[in-house]
Amino acid sequence: MTERFTSVEDSTGFAFVLFGGTGDLARRKLLPALYAAHRDGMLDLDGKIVSVAQTALDPSGYLEWVNDQVKPHISGTIDMQVWREFLERIVYVSGDLDKPEVFSSLSDALSATHGTRIFYMATGPALFVPVCHALAEAGLTEGARLVLEKPLGYDLESSNAINDAVGKIFDEDQILRIDHYLGKEAVQNLFALRFGNSLFEPLWRREWIESVHITVAEELGVGGRETFYDQTGALRDMVQNHPLQLLAIVAMEPPQSIDADSVRDEKLRVLHALKPMGAEDIRQNVVRGQYRAGAVRGETVDGYIDEPGIRQDSSTETFVALKTDVENWRWAGVPFFLRTGKRLAASVAEIVINFRAVPHSAVGSIALRPGSNRLLIRLQPDELIRLGVLAKQPGLDMTLQKVHLNLAFDQLFQRRKMDAYQRLLLDVIAGRLALFVRRDEQQAAWNWIAPILREWNAPGSFTRLYVAGMWGPAAASALLARHGTCWLEEEN
């Protein structure tokens, strides 16, 4: 029997309009997440999904496309009756988004729906403003919600331009800027760990924490996104959203509540407290890398400049590692290290909290080593929280070894968990904003990375090479070694 959740929270009719309905994000993430929400009984029975795309398909042809292209990305056994019910929710509108005819057809399709309208922009950012203008001209924006995927612009100026233009059509509380990492179960448990337990709060500060490491690593290259990626790079594509958002959650002060603005206000304070990067800081504390040919999981892969459509002289970074500081009372003197990259040794996203060693050890020198006590919060591929401590080995001697206290969500909780997009799409439909990025947060993140972008555009800037299947340039390890620590690669 298909497992169903017991209730539909904030049940209401809705029309979920998916621009880019035949794109990669819709195929791999959004439609599977909507199916999972439907399967789990968490979507109102009157809710409709309206996919809009340029692909010339009639409605039945689109459902065949969904059947062929979306099913392989759904985890677990598919109940065919539930699948057929899900397909009945879907309406397809075909046409070019730069022509008014498609919005006339969309208006006709929406006339048969009721409830909140959600416009999800699973397209390139160049279409965000034109589509919003067209929606306004068609009279479709009243009371609607707009979901914007990353990247929102190319830099601070273009991000502001998009936000300014969209903000003239939609109010700020109608705009949801999505970062799917914020919907992961382990990130939610980071809130619970910090703010639901008295155990960690006294330790969550400079006196007890030696350093914080945040990694978002991918084995994949840039396949299918070559043109976009060569114009964007890892700093814009990843650092200014996922890792910085995770840093803000780790470093934030306890919010007054978990409502949207309380959480986002505290994250914003962290982003404002990040030490500004000067030219010398960037040269010393930021590593820019690009993968060359190598092997990932035993398979030979091309280098970045050998990928189709990539310029042979491209200096676009596929890897970034950096050190930063949060200049406030709680975190003064604690280095935060971020790294992200493609074609690395493993696909893993994690936060590592390294606690300080004991000031004096009567039970062996291992207790004096950095990293003897650490908290690992892994977001993918498996979601877990692992606390590393020292324990005595059996025997006569006082010999210590590292052991782990594990919280593995898939083993502890039998109830089927929601993936990040499922959680966030349900929040979109219900109008819960806490896990979405507010404009001032996004602006602060862009503002912080702007000096790095300027420095990299200056004469003399260079990109280090690393072999695909490794953990990035050697300079990324040297960066941490200078501060007496290292990346947690042995547990990956």
Of 179, 163, 164, 239, residue with least CA distance to 453: 239
Per the CB < 8 A criterion, the answer to whether 449 and 235 are in contact is yes
How distant, in Å, are the alpha carbons of 2, 221, 468 from that of 473? 47, 16, 10
Q: Indicate if the alpha-carbon torsion angle 99, 105, 108, 113 is positive or negative.
A: negative
Smallest Cα–Cα separation from 128: which of 92, 156, 164? 164
Using left for φ > 0, alpha for ψ between -120 and 50, and beta otherwise, residue 143 falls in left
Separation between Cα atoms, residue 431 and residue 144, nearest integer Å: 10
Catalogue the active-site residues: 242
Q: 382 Cβ partners below 8 Å, 6+ apart?
A: 408, 410
Q: Is 49 helix (H, G, I), strand (E, B) or coil?
A: strand
- Given a contact cutoff of 8 angstroms between Cβ atoms, the answer to whether 162 and 60 are in contact is no
Using CA atoms, how far apart are residues 481 and 394, in angstroms rounded to an integer? 33
CB distance 28 to 132 below 8 Å: no
Helices 31-39, 80-87: crossing angle, 10 deg rounding: 120
Read off the tokens for 412.
């502890």
State the sign of the Cα–Cα–Cα–Cα dihedral 250, 256, 257, 262. Answer: negative
Q: Are 216 and 187 in contact (CB under 8 A)?
A: no
Radius of gyration from C-alpha coordinates of the chain: 24
Report the distance separating Cα 288 and Cα 330, nearest Å: 29
